[in-house]
Structure 1
Amino acid sequence: MKTLLCLLFIFGVAVLSVVTCAPMCKHPRGPPVAITCNQLCPDEYHPVCAVDAQGLPKTFANRCFVDFAYCREGKYYAIMKDGEC
């Protein structure tokens, strides 16, 4: 009986960890960060200029949207400077 309860507990923890960790993105600038792809970024306009792997510049409304783009598109953008491109 104890073995069955122990196995059920381990199974429950495993299921919870998968459900909890599913929305995590492995960000290339550091360790995995909990960014849900449906997160809300602040609507404050503090533009940043970032480039993708091909060197194409793109202006984002703020740094949050750079991480959001990585999570949603799987496309890494390197921030080059504050302000518009």
Structure 2
Amino acid sequence: MKTIGVDQTSLDDCVRDAQQERIILTRDGVPVAPIVGLEGLDAEQLELGISDAFWKLIAERRGQRTMTWDELERALPG
């Protein structure tokens, strides 16, 4: 992640740099905006990335118990 002052860069430079790493813009040393590159992502990836419902689902799933491979094999029939 790279931090840049808004008075030290241009939008074009931020967009170019953001394709390689996340950029945090600051004003007077205080973070004011993230810049995240989207080049190479398809429409579905973009939609999921900004979907509050998707991220809520992910957070709920991360809170659930997981199974080991052995547990899964024992739970499956046959």
Whether the TM-score (by the shorter chain) exceeds 0.5 is: no
| Bin of the TM-score, shorter chain as denominator length | under 0.3
* TM-score where L is the length of structure 2: 0.24
Larger RCO (alpha carbons 8 Å, 6+ apart): 1
Name the structure with the higher helix share: 2
The structure having more radius of gyration, on CA atoms, is 2
